[in-house]
């Protein structure tokens, strides 16, 4: 059984809040994983998610304590949370719980069956490795050399087959494809993840170059994921994606193609700030502008909360 303490960042507000409020307010420039959102939150449905994504969701909501358990009963340590799938959660989805309450997540590895659940079908876990070339026929030394006309018929050389993958390269490819089935990654982020898994940098880089990935689509998926759990300005979301390893062009593509109302995001962000601290209208507008919202969006946010 593994317990993990999730901590929250702090923000220095423009107005002077009380000490308790300061602890809960997101600091300026905080990322989604550092933000906190109040003394309680509504428990999301985490069953079926990759354990790392479930952790990110809880952190974005401000949860401070997580108990990770092995659902198989073998009491294994979840060293790499991206290699585990959540089977059960406690409290249940929809329950409103304090930020300090301990959330219990029981998981199994990605290729294992949850107790009473299902495992991905073989089609879902097929590795698209390069086909092995057919072995060249052994020369027949018992016969005489081919006649000239026979040699002419075989002058056209066969195209060489694709090179064999080493065992470690094949495993790195399988792992990379497995990660991309459950979560969005940047190219750099996926290489780093494979290195964290213990693959050599050469094998990790080979695997990521070998598989077919649309990194702009990955940036879009990642942007959508962040917006499900936290409010962002357009600039703030681009910065977050770049921080995750996407190029500036990929990050901008993801944010430009995501369906989002930035006015609504400003209102949500303003509402979040007021839950934990006192702000004047001008102070709240300044804070939202600092977070990357335009002046018009920030003023809309202040209007939406009644300031």
Which pLDDT band holds residue 23 (cuts at 50, 70, 90)? very low
Is the pTM higher than 0.85? no
SS3 306: coil
Q: What is the pLDDT of residues 181-197, one digit of tens each?
A: 888 999 999 999 999 98
Write down the pLDDT at residue 299. Answer: 95
Mean pLDDT of 254-271: 94
Q: Please state the separation of Cα 278 from the chain's center in Å.
A: 33
Q: Report the percentage of the chain scoring pLDDT > 70.
A: 72
Lowest mean pLDDT among 12-26, 122-136, 218-232, 287-301: 12-26
Asked whether the predicted pLDDT for residue 198 surpasses 80, the reply is: yes
Which residues lie across from 109 on neighbouring strands?
A: 84
Write down the pLDDT at residue 159. Answer: 56
* C-beta of residue 89 within 8 angstroms of C-beta of residue 39: no
Which pLDDT band holds residue 120 (cuts at 50, 70, 90)? very low
Write down the pLDDT at residue 56. Answer: 82
Write down the pLDDT at residue 97. Answer: 87
Domain parsing of the chain, residue ranges: 1-113
Give domain 1-113's CATH number out of 3.60.9.10, 1.20.120.530, 3.30.10.20, 3.40.50.620: 3.30.10.20
Which pLDDT band holds residue 117 (cuts at 50, 70, 90)? low
DSSP letters along 25-38, please?
SPPTT--GGG----
Asked whether the predicted pLDDT for residue 32 surpasses 50, the reply is: no
Write down the pLDDT at residue 38. Answer: 54
Write down the pLDDT at residue 4. Answer: 40
Q: What is the pLDDT of residues 59-109, one digit of tens each?
A: 878 887 888 999 888 888 777 788 888 999 999 988 888 888 899 999 998
Mean pLDDT of 46-56: 87
Which pLDDT band holds residue 165 (cuts at 50, 70, 90)? confident
Q: Which residues are CB-neighbours of 207 under 8 A, at least 6 positions away?
A: 169, 172, 173, 175, 176, 194, 199
Write down the pLDDT at residue 137. Answer: 56
DSSP letters along 32-92, please?
GGG----SEEEPP--TTSBHHHHHHHHHHHT--EEEEEETTSS----SSGGGEEEEEEESP
Q: What is the pLDDT of residues 216-225, one digit of tens each?
A: 999 999 999 9
Give whole-number Cα distances, 189 to 20, 176, 183, 272, 297, in Å.
Answer: 36, 11, 11, 30, 32
Average per-residue pLDDT for the chain: 78
């Amino acid at each position: 059984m593994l317990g993990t303490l999730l901590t929250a960042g702090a923000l220095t507000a423009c107005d002077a809040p009380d000490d308790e409020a300061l602890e809960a307010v997101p600091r300026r420039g905080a990322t989604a994983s550092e933000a906190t959102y109040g003394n309680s939150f509504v428990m999301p449905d985490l069953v079926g998610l990759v354990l790392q994504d479930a952790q990110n969701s809880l952190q974005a909501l401000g949860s401070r304590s997580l108990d990770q358990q092995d659902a198989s009963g073998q009491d294994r340590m979840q060293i790499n949370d991206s290699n585990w799938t959540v089977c059960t959660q406690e409290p249940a989805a929809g329950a409103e719980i304090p930020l300090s309450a301990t959330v219990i997540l029981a998981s199994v590895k990605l290729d294992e069956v949850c107790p009473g659940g299902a495992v991905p079908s073989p089609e879902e876990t097929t590795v698209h490795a390069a086909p092995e070339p057919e072995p060249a026929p052994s020369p027949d030394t018992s016969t005489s050399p081919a006649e000239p006309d026979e040699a002419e018929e075989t002058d056209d050389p066969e195209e060489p087959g694709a090179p064999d993958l080493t065992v470690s390269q094949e495993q790195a490819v399988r792992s990379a494809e497995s990660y991309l089935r459950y979560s969005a990654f940047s190219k750099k982020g996926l290489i780093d993840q494979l290195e964290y898994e213990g693959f050599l940098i050469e094998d990790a880089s080979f695997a990521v170059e070998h598989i077919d990935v649309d990194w702009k689509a990955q940036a879009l998926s990642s942007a959508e994921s962040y917006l499900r759990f936290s409010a962002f300005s357009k600039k703030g979301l681009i910065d977050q994606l770049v921080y995750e390893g996407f190029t500036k062009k990929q990050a901008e593509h993801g944010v430009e193609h995501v369906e989002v109302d930035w006015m609504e995001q400003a209102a949500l962000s303003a509402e979040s700030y007021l839950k934990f601290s006192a702000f004047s209208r001008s102070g709240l507008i300044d804070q939202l502008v600092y977070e990357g919202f335009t002046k018009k969006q920030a003023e809309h946010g202040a209007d939406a909360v009644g300031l």
